[in-house]
C-alpha cells in the first residue's frame, strides 16, 4: 500500500476527518490526502511541524523522553500528530465534532502502516 492510500484510508475511516499529511522532520510534505482545503492543510501542517520540533528540542534539553503524539485545537479544528520514526511524522486534521478517541486509534494503525511502507 502506498503513502497516499494509507492517508486516504485514515481520513475516510474517521468521521469528521478533513485531511492527513505525511511530513519529514523539517515540515516538508511528503504525501497528503485532503477532503477539504489542501492549502489550509499544508499551512497548518507547517505550523505544527514547528511546534513538534520545538517540543522535541525542549524534551531533549530537559532530558525527557521524546513525545510521540501532539493534540492541538486550532481555529475550530483538531490537529493530531504522531511520530512515524525519527525522520517523519503524520498529521491528521479533524473537524471539532470528530470523535477524538476513534481518530487516535485510526492514527496509530495508519502510523504502523507507514512504518511498514518505509521499511519495505
Q: All domains of the chain, ordered by start, with CATH? A: 3-119 (3.30.450.30)
Report the pLDDT value the prediction gives residue 112, as an integer from 0 to 100: 95
Cell numbers standing for residue 67: 513525545
pLDDT in tens, 31-75: 999 998 889 889 888 888 888 888 888 888 898 877 788 888 988
Question: Confidence band (pLDDT; 50, 70, 90) for 22?
Answer: very high
pTM: 0.90
Q: Across the chain, what does the average pLDDT equal?
A: 90
As a whole number, mean pLDDT of residues 84-90 equals 88
State the cell numbers at 90.
Answer: 503524520
Q: Work out the average pLDDT over 26-34.
A: 91
Among 67, 29, 59, CA closest to 47? 29
Amino acid at each position: 500500500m502506498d503513502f497516499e492510500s494509507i492517508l486516504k484510508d485514515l481520513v475516510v475511516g474517521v468521521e469528521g476527518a478533513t485531511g492527513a499529511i505525511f511530513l519529514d522532520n523539517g515540515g516538508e510534505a511528503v504525501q497528503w490526502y485532503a477532503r477539504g482545503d489542501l492549502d489550509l492543510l499544508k499551512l497548518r501542517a507547517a505550523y505544527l511541524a514547528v511546534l513538534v520540533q520545538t517540543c522535541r528540542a525542549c524534551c531533549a534539553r530537559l532530558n525527557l523522553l521524546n513525545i510521540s503524539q501532539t493534540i492541538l485545537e486550532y481555529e475550530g479544528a483538531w490537529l493530531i500528530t504522531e511520530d512515524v520514526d525519527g525522520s517523519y511524522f503524520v498529521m491528521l486534521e479533524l473537524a471539532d465534532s470528530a470523535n477524538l478517541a476513534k481518530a487516535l486509534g485510526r492514527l496509530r494503525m495508519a502510523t504502523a502502516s507507514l512504518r511498514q511502507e518505509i521499511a519495505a
